[in-house]
Amino acid sequence: MIALEAHNLTVRYNKQPVLWNVDFSIPAGSLAGIIGPNGSGKTTLLKAAMGILGSDSGYVRFFGKELDAVREKVSYVPQRQSVDWDFPASVMDVVLMGRYRAGKLLGRLSKTDREIAAEALEQVGLYPLRKQHISELSGGQQQRTFIARSLAQQADIFLMDEPFAGIDAASEESIISLLQSLRSSGKTVILVHHDLHTAIEFFDHVVLLNTRLVAAGPKTETLSVENLNATYGGQLTVLNKIAELVRKQEYPLREKNTKD
């Protein structure tokens, strides 16, 4: 089954294309990375998929359906920097937001809802901080709080925008372990990600993006030096480092088409 499909997706800002005719699919049960340089349209892609931004053409489907038909199965974690962390809410308050359903935002939460939220906090290691104000958390703890909210939603597909930005190594390792566990349980996890070095080890499916789609598919087919050169252009220092990692992982290379 295809978890997420984009077809001929074009999005513009001020008449300038940020995404142009992007077309790819990601199979269910994948841990997938959307990778590309700054300004390549990665965040725009997630926002267009979630209906936060309108598109000029094309569409995005989840499990073959429009978002509104499967919204409760789709969880979105925005960039941490875009959230107002001074909002008067505790860690538990934020996680409980994942238990509200469309059209029932004013409804009362049940005992089961609260048990599910507590379990989600246990999964990310934050249950002891459940009564703490979100502004008092570290960057990694804030990110894990948002992931716990997604877990409480019990979604089937998770879209996350730069979940590792601005967090320490221990938090990153903890989140990676959690996301791998989600994939093992059959969930689909799709991340906007900027670190090519960890992408090689972390993801099993990759979308390379630079306004246009460069390549999409299993990492063994996608993370070639040729595709990385097309994605990142003249950033040869990055490419040389990633090329060495690709060699160590024995991924397919077409070095004769690259520049020294």
Q: What is the pLDDT of residues 170-229, one digit of tens each?
A: 878 888 888 999 999 999 999 998 878 788 888 999 999 999 999 999 998 998 888 988
- The residue-averaged pLDDT of 144-164 equals 91
> What is the rounded distance in angstroms from the CA atom of residue 258 to the CA atom of residue 20?
25
Q: What is the pLDDT of residues 59-87, one digit of tens each?
A: 999 999 999 999 989 999 988 777 777 78
SS3 214: strand
List of residues 6+ apart from 36 with CB closer than 8 A: 42, 208, 209, 210, 214, 231, 232
Domains of the chain: 2-84+155-223 (3.40.50.300)
Cα–Cα nearest to 166, from 205, 186, 195, 206: 195
Outline where DSSP puts E strands in 63-194: 74-77, 157-161, 188-193
